[in-house]
Chains A and B, each alone.
Chain A
Amino acid sequence: MTTTRRDILKGAGALTLASAIGAPMRVRAEGKVLKIGQLGVMSGPEASWGLVNKYSAMATAEMYNARGGVEIDGELYRIEIVSVDDRNDPKLTVSGAERLTGEEGIRYFIGPNMDTTATSVRPIAEKNQAMYIPYAFDRSLYTAPARNAILGMIASYQVAPVMYKILRDERGVKKVAFLARNDSDGLLQRDEAVKVAEGLGLEILAQDTYEPSVTDFFPVVANIVGQNPDLIVMSAVAPAHCPQIMRSAREMGYVGLFSSEAAQDIKIIREVAGEYGDGLVSIGGASTPEIRSAYMEDFIEKYNAVAGEWNDEAGTKAYALEMILMTLRRTGAAGIGDIALFQKAVDGFSERNPFLKEDAALTYVGMADYGQKRQIGVPMVITETKGGDFTTLSIGSVAS
């Protein structure tokens, strides 16, 4: 048998086909059931983004199901999570959304995780009358006439002005180099952040990019380290890549700060960056020990049971299912099948934030950025890595 180059191409085709085959996974429940979808990247290099969504939803569902379910209009609904892996491929995101909102009849789902996949879902969600909570920052998803998406976290362009101002005023940062992941999310975040940095009078030394498939950052960071910036901004950096960039830059003699407008994970930073893990300023969730409530502690415990270990990103992603359920309790049972009621409830929604120990209102926000409330009001917690831990640098919120 002779293997030719043609066969190699056939094999590559087969790889694509095999990748496309995937059945949705579900956490089954009995009795009256409320099905919630979760659609995102759960395999490949970005797997952690979607898996944290999945594990967070499962942990929240377990917390409710342990009490018999979520009470809506006096009746208990056990929560069933239906998960679909889109492998970060918009074609699979579309078929996954069709499956969730069509065959499964689901009206609320969490995800997707990227701009490309989140925008590909929009027509399906609008056609099948479903609400979804993406973790992508493209403004068009949340700005009218779009009405079906609710941003599940703080956008990079919301945190950048706060973060850079702190770094300029309190840490003496003057020269900035940008290193962006070369995809739509990375480039969008970099472009928005460059505008913010320029607005604050910071000098932009470089705007480099890297491929998401890069396996060694040592040659990638050589150029920007050579320009001796005070701050390296890593746009849309994956938790897997962030400590690699930090370690490579430090090994080349870089002594400045790093920043990321995406949530990172301290265990990965400890393991991969090791002694070079200090000096990263990034956005955290509601999970920093200083602010978390007993309810959040319970969530962390359930998350650990589901996923095997805690992931700091889950501090932000804990909010998605909780907000869907709290809003459905407002709309009543009719809202389970009618998203118009949900959309109406969003505007006036305000509950005590269960994840914070201090009394704070949890609302939908977004009027300032999107002209409508299409964002979960997750606290804006900016952290810095010091001695192998996240320390809180600032706590704020997005303008309502």
Chain B
Amino acid sequence: MEQILVNGAILAANYALIALGITLIFSIMNVLNFAHGQMFMFGGLIVYWTVAQLGLPYAVGLAMAAVAVGLIGMAFEVFFFRRVMRDSTREENTMLLAVGTALLLENAALSLFGEKQRGIPPIVTGVYRIGDAFLPANRALVFGISLVLIVAILLFVTYSKTGRAMRALAQDRTATLLMGVDTARISTLGFGLGAALAGIAGGLLITVSGVNAGIGTAISTKAFIMIMIGGAGVVSGALLGAVALGFIEAFGYAYLPGSLTYLMIFVALILFLLIRPQGIMGKPWG
């Protein structure tokens, strides 16, 4: 049981960073970012390139991943999404665009980094014992960094001026504009922050399991499951969704045949959405 709880907690912390990023973009922009998993993948590959190819310290790699993927997100918002949202009358166009950016990033990664799984050595080595459970020191560190980042993001969106503007934008774009907020700038920053979170998550997990150019879709799928459970566009919902998915996965792998775990998760998700289609936490920003 201890091992299952440890596994669940580690998975939940990893997933929370991914879910936070996608929900931030969704709430501010009303864009479901299909490229979120690809941004995660890009973050991991940038860390790989920085550490394994350039020989720079891991912290530099992680910072580069956050900045580079954040800039990619901001560029997507400025050059693609803003224009489509302004000119298009069809809502699904932003989704088609998001799918396009996902394919763009995936193919760019294949060209730049190749088809192989890429990984770097753990930041720290060793394994802790917690009762009967094993906790690799590197996973513990990634868990700790994830928690610190999650708290930092929550403090930022709750107390900073920019964070409050992001929350206002998520609640009512017109009212926010009328209050004199530069909504274009806040949208760009929000997209960039969400993308940077995906990049950081990828940069952290490359030390644990590695990444490859094709991993994006699996990550995006998990991100969608989390925000559907928690409620699309709600920060607390995203965290709740991450915790729920992490522990369901850990218990599923322990007590069900491996192939049944995700089947059961999808069946349970369908049943859950029939009962509560808006997810646990309801509307954007509560």
- A residues near B (Cβ < 8 Å) are 1-3, 5, 7-8, 10-11, 14-15, 18-19, 42-48, 51-52, 179, 182, 208-211, 213-220, 222-223, 239-241, 243-244, 247, 251-253, 265, 267-268, 271-272, 274-275, 307-309, 311
Q: Which of A19, A218, A311 contacts B7 (CB 8 A)?
A: A218
Q: A299 to B96, alpha carbons, bound, how many Å?
A: 42
Does B209 lie within 8 Å of A216, measured CB to CB? yes
For this complex, 9 residue pairs linking A to B, each with C-beta atoms less than 8 Å apart, are: A3-B32, A5-B273, A11-B92, A47-B115, A179-B258, A210-B259, A216-B11, A271-B119, A272-B117
Q: Looking at the assembled complex, report how far the CB atom of B164 sits from the nearest CB atom of chain A, in whole angstroms.
A: 22
- Please count the residue pairs between chain A and chain B whose beta carbons lie under 8 angstroms apart in the complex: 170
Given contacts A15-B34, A251-B127, 17 further A-B contacts (CB under 8 A): A1-B85, A3-B232, A7-B91, A47-B115, A47-B213, A208-B257, A211-B258, A211-B262, A215-B215, A216-B208, A219-B8, A222-B4, A223-B253, A239-B116, A239-B117, A268-B117, A272-B119
Q: Looking at the assembled complex, report how far the CB atom of B44 sits from the nearest CB atom of chain A, in whole angstroms.
A: 11
Which residues of B sit under 8 angstroms from A307, Cβ to Cβ? 114
Does A274 lie within 8 Å of B121, measured CB to CB? yes
Q: A8 to B228, alpha carbons, bound, how many Å?
A: 11
Does B99 lie within 8 Å of A265, measured CB to CB? no
Which residues of A sit under 8 angstroms from B103, Cβ to Cβ? 18-19
Which residues of A sit under 8 angstroms from B213, Cβ to Cβ? 43, 47
Interface residues on B, range: 35 or more
Does A7 lie within 8 Å of B119, measured CB to CB? no
Q: Is the interface of B mostly helix, strand, loop or mixed?
A: helix
| Proximity bits, B218-232, A CB within 8 Å = 1, else 0 | 110110100010001
Closest to A247 in B: B209
Does A211 lie within 8 Å of B259, measured CB to CB? yes
Does B7 lie within 8 Å of A222, measured CB to CB? yes
Does A209 lie within 8 Å of B257, measured CB to CB? yes
Which residues of A sit under 8 angstroms from B120, Cβ to Cβ? 271
Does A222 lie within 8 Å of B259, measured CB to CB? no
Which residues of B sit under 8 angstroms from A311, Cβ to Cβ? 116
Most buried by A among B4, B103, B208: B208
Q: Does B139 contact A (CB under 8 A)?
A: yes
Which residues of B in the span 180-222 have a Cβ within 8 Å of any Cβ on A? 205, 208-210, 212-215, 217-219, 221-222
